[in-house]
Amino acid sequence: MQQLDNQNVQGTERTWNPHYHFFKLGFWINDPNGLFYLDGKYHLFFQLNPDDVVWGNMHWGYATSENLLDWQHQPIALHAEPEGLGYIFSGGAVVDTNNTAGFATGEHPAVIATFTHQSESEEQVQSIAYSVDGGQNFTKYAHNPVIANPGLKDFRDPKVVWYAKKQYWVKAVVAGQCVYFYQSSDLKSWQKLSEFGHNHGAHGGVWECPDLFPLICSETGEERWVLLISINPGGPNGGSATQYFIGDFDGIEFKPQDSPLGNSQIHWLDYGTDCYAGITWDNTPDILQSRTYIAWMSNWDYARDTPDNTWRGAMTLPRKISLVKSEVGYQLATPPAIEFNERNSISSSETLNQQPLVIPEAYKLAFTLNSDSAKTVLQWQSASKETFVLTIDFANKLILADRTKSGFNEKGFDTVVKMPIEVLEQQSVEIEIYADACSFELFFNGSRQCITTLTFPTTPFSQLSVALDSEEKQVKDVNLSAYTAASSTKSSKKS
């Protein structure tokens, strides 16, 4: 496809190209797929329409990175076959180190991609493809599908993990509003183990994109299993969202722990409206201590209608998922997995008080608040007087992210995200904000709670002001790291 020129796309007055988030100029992308790490590189596959900036004609796009910040686009990895088994929907990938599938032929271990084929009649089946050159080229398995459809409309998004105790693979596949677990010794023949989801978690929409994996808590040394489930609709603030379960898996059944927050066993990985369909990388270093995660930064309520028609769809920041223990049980922490370094940032200590702070378009902002401040309000404003407002209300244990006056407001976009926050009296709360051309990612309480939200102001937010209801009238420990142009922006524009 001919690369689109920002200045020559009709109907677009402004573009919102991300500076440090992954996207693909000229194309539609959604769910991350087939994530694996091998030979010092992170491999990212994703749902791609190679012909347009709207959803359809699903292939697997492909990109690689050594640091999760600078991405190099690669040729399409898996092509749709409309006359055969169908379009290439979401799934995962594993590095078959022990060659259990028998595909490896040389120095590289085989990489096995697991994905859903959807036919013209919309039947969904589970298939695999394999690569023997480190992921550069994939061959579809001659005997696909490896799991036939059991008679369900929604049966998709396979994700595989190695179950070390019994030395076999376990595959999670969503089936309506639950998950089916399967086992295999060779990644080709699968037997059903169990089901999970009935009477557990949120059920306001279809379940999607499962991810099952073990984590060891560094504080206690205990192992627990984590299950991520995306749901659409039914999120805590409308439309798409991702919930998680922590529990035990014995190789057959997953059993969740009691709810640490006492909220009917519903735990949201991110309370924002724009963190969806995320999964984790296979084969990363120290994978039992933390899993590296990335999600699609959009929402099915309005994903097809966002105002920049030179591209649609970007990824969230990569994040490190770890298991943390609190007085009420285990929870997940998901801090960003990237760091702005000397090559691509300018850091300075700033004072946030009653005087507005001039801000760049892309940056990281970190600061500390004391919970004795009943309410703190941060307001971003553009030259066109559009605003994004973050209210941290310790008195009512609530955080509000208001984009109702941020510019674009169609298809339910004009929302106020609400997130409960648990803080103790006299507790200091560290807050990190990653801002880009069209997004905010907000991290609270050691990244145990997050809000990801898109914004499309007609002119960039250029000023930040803060109002505090406290005696100090000043935010502490403020550090602003402005992101400067680096190869990540350039590489994201390559075909």
- 3-class SS of residue 489: helix
The Cα–Cα gap between 440 and 42 comes to: 24
Amino acid at 270: D
Instruction: Give the end-to-end CA distance of the chain in Å, rounded to a whole number.
Output: 8
Nearest one of 427, 335, 318, 326 to 372, comparing CA atoms: 427
Number of residues in the chain: 495
> What are 242's two structure tokens?
């991702």
Asked if 469 and 483 count as a contact pair (C-beta separation under 8 A), the reply is no
What does the alpha-carbon distance between residue 293 and residue 89 come to, in Å, rounded to a whole number?
A: 19
Q: Cα(227)–Cα(208) distance, rounded to whole angstroms?
A: 12
Three-class DSSP labels, 31-97: EEEEEEEECCEEEEEEEEECCCCCCCCCEEEEEEECCCCCCEEEEEEECCECCCCEEEEEEEEEEEC
* CA distances from residue 17 to 14, 25, 76, 460, 482 in whole angstroms, order as listed: 9, 8, 22, 12, 16
Residues near 10 by beta carbon (within 8 Å), at least 6 away in sequence: none
Tell me the β-bridge partners of 213: 226
Rounded distance between C-alpha atoms, residue 22 and residue 16, angstroms: 13
242 three-state secondary structure: strand
SS3 call for 196: strand
Enter the tokens of residue 3: 């690369």
d(CA 464, CA 113): 45
- Residue 305 among the catalytic residues: no
Q: CA-CA distances (angstroms) from residue 240 to 16, 159, 343, 414, 441?
A: 22, 19, 35, 15, 16
- Spatial separation of the C-alpha atoms in residues 121 and 285, rounded to whole Å: 41
Phi/psi for 308 (5° steps) reads -85, 105
Q: In angstroms, how far apart are the furthest CA atoms of the chain?
A: 70
Considering the candidates 5, 31, 133, 305, report the single residue annotated as catalytic. Answer: 31
How far, rounded to the nearest angstrom, does the alpha carbon of residue 347 sit from its chain's CA centroid?
A: 26
Catalytic residue numbers, as ranges: 31
